[in-house]
Chain A
Amino acid sequence: MSVQAWTYLIVAATFALYVGIAWWSRVRTTSGFYVAGRGVPAVANGMATGADWMSAASFISMAGLISFMGYTGTIYLMGWTGGYVLLALLLAPYLRKYGKFTTSEFVGDRYYSDAARLVAAACTIFVSFTYIAGQMRGVGVVFSRFLEVEVHWGVIIGVVIVFFYAVLGGMRGITYTQVAQYCVLIVAFLIPAAAISWKITGNPIPQFGFGGTVQEGQQAGVFLLEALDALHRELRLPEYTAAFVPGKKSMIDVTAITLALMVGTAGLPHVLVRFYTVRSARAARWSALWALVFIGLLYTTAPAVAAFARVNLISTLHNTSYNEVPEWFRSWETTGLISFDDQDGDGVIDMTDGVGELTVDRDIMVLANPEIAELPAWVVALVAAGGLAAALSTAAGLLLVIASAISHDIGKSILWKDMSSRRELLLARGTASVAVIVAAYFGISPPGFVAQVVAFAFGLAASSFFPVLVLGIFTRSTTKEGAITGMSSGILFTGAYIVYFRLIRPEATAEDWLFGISPEGIGAVGMLINFSLALIVSRFTKPPPEEVQQLVSEIRLPRERAADG
């Protein structure tokens, strides 16, 4: 059977599985729609959080990105995992104890203010839309690369599937399809990773192979990372494991970006809401553990894959005659992801820095792995299904958060306080339908700014949500004025800095940046501004009312009140 036939078969089978699960878990109540009836077991929620969290970018692009960044790739590795420690210790159990349906709802109630609720809901919608457009694009790209259909048809197929299970099944449908999607994506990531680790280092466990020795070729017996550093020296590139050498990011920038990504992770509404779906505060703590275990499986494998792919790329292509390139080079050349431009006309590939004979798209590092490792056609098909699972699961989670922010936080809590649950459910389904269509539109024709902004969703989440949530739980004295000032100045500062250095002065260099911090890391500064202003303003404004101070005491204790539903 051909790769394409396998791909159709496996993708169709996984889609049928998702639709079946959605039908089985369809919901009829608002609690089912927003928070899956709060009955999700901690392990299942951990898996769902993993799928929700790991997007098309984590699955397809991250290992490739790290492969080109070497040490500096740590900003993604630590940045996108360390936030779970903050989430588990500072937020998840308390937000779950508080209950209700959304993060904005906590902000609105804790800060006794519909203005705070509205700011939080608006931040949620903005952050989630920038993020979802990238996912829809990812769906289209996977379809076009593996199934040779047009990108827009790929997006439409993806939208129909997401529409079906998000609108019908709500959070319950999303949760259980995400569990299935996690299984598909992790298997699809680990099989090629183990195979390439075994091929290059003789150890099938990538995390060990990473520190092992090269098996074959000129560098047989040399530690993989030493061989990689030597290859980089040969190409006149900075060493792979070197940290703050010229050509890589500075220490302060690495620190700021890592912090912004960590705190942003802990402040992303679609991640936070996952912890509303478990049975208790205690389950929320264990669920955060499972989430990080499942995420860590991919995140400790990805840097190993990055190093294997890098060694393989350089040692098989550098100084190789174009006529003798391996088979996978030919098959990916047609997609345009890798191309050879013979500058000196000698027919030999020269990868030395600055020569520019070989252009490599970083996505190829994951996508071509099965072929590099000479795996059968069905594994290639599985990688396609894994990429789709990663993109669809994240898109569905975001969609639900957007729908709840509109129908619940703005609709039920602000505009129509006496709306019946039946009508609210109808409204939630309606907004989810509209949101999915808007997302599809962004996926088919992404506005220029989306690609610019999507990487900054973290900075915005870091500088808006995280500080007010932490202060709302750990202090009784933070006032609504403090929270609103903090949230709006944090997000405005971060947003303005990003817009200025990305759109107005994109040519600016590290010397122009504030303290040498790039726009990717500025969310860390925005967060500090948010924290300080919220604390200062709270000192000079009227303390929160007694019932709010009681609410804070109440959420600190995991015990459920008897009347709690």
Chain B
Amino acid sequence: MSNQPDPSAYWRANLRLMAVLLAVWFVCSYVLGIFLVEPLNGARVGGFPLGFWFAHQGSIYVFVVLILVYAAVMDRLDRRYGVD
């Protein structure tokens, strides 16, 4: 079924999604990988100090997941607001 196009509602939904994803982006790279790296290094996951793991591995995995979520949710928004 095709809905009535609603550009401004679509744009607001897009901005909300972006804000959430960029917040996660900031927390995983800057907060966990840089600002809190020293306290986090006190904890270990397997052979990794946790902060070091975020800086050298985890943040990259998170980046991939963020874009995956963005592309998938935007596909849904495109259809819901009839702008695709």
Contacts and interface: CB of A to CB of B under 8 A. Distances in A.
Interface of A: 66, 71, 73-74, 77-78, 81-82, 84-85, 88-90, 93, 207, 210-213, 223-226, 241-244, 251, 254-255, 258, 282, 285-286, 288-289, 292-293, 296, 299-300, 303, 553, 556-559
B43 interface: no
A211 B71 contact: no
Given A78-B29, A85-B63, A285-B71, A224 B10 contact: no
B67 A292 contact: yes
17 contacts: A77-B60, A78-B60, A81-B59, A82-B29, A82-B63, A85-B22, A85-B63, A85-B66, A243-B51, A243-B52, A258-B29, A258-B30, A288-B67, A289-B68, A289-B71, A292-B64, A300-B60
A223 B61 contact: no
The interface centre, meaning the residue of B10, B53, B74, B75 with most chain A CB atoms within 10 A of its CB, is: B74
Contacts of A296: 60-61, 63-64
Given A88-B70, A225-B48, 20 more contacts: A74-B56, A82-B59, A85-B66, A85-B67, A90-B18, A210-B47, A211-B53, A224-B47, A225-B49, A243-B38, A243-B51, A251-B34, A255-B34, A255-B35, A289-B64, A292-B67, A296-B63, A556-B7, A557-B83, A558-B84
Nearest to A287: B71
B18 A89 contact: yes
A306 B49 CA distance: 16
B35 A77 contact: no
A211 B29 contact: no
Nearest to B15: A474
B56 A212 contact: no
Contact of B7 (A81, A251, A553): A553
A82 B4 CA distance: 36
A243 B56 CA distance: 12
Interface string B17-58: 010011001000110011101100100011111011101110
A357 B22 CA distance: 47
Closest 5 CB pairs of A and B: A223-B47, A74-B55, A211-B47, A211-B46, A303-B56
Q: Chain A interface mostly helix, strand, loop or mixed?
A: helix
Interface of B: 5, 7, 10-11, 14, 18, 21-22, 25, 29-30, 33-35, 37-38, 41, 45-49, 51-53, 55-57, 59-61, 63-64, 66-68, 70-71, 74-75, 78, 83-84
A94 to B, nearest CB: 10
B67 A84 contact: yes
A282 B79 CA distance: 11
Given A78-B29, A82-B25, A289-B64, A89 B47 contact: no
Contacts of B74: 93, 282, 285
Contact of A241 (B52, B78, B84): B52
Contact of A212 (B47, B52, B60): B47
A241 B41 contact: yes
The interface centre, meaning the residue of B10, B14, B34, B75 with most chain A CB atoms within 10 A of its CB, is: B34
Contacts of A242: 41
Given A225-B52, A556-B11, A557-B83, A85 B21 contact: yes
B32 to A, nearest CB: 11
Contacts of B10: 557
Contacts of A300: 57, 60-61
A212 B52 CA distance: 15
A288 B14 CA distance: 17
B82 to A, nearest CB: 9
Nearest to A307: B56
Given A71-B52, A223-B47, A207 B29 contact: no
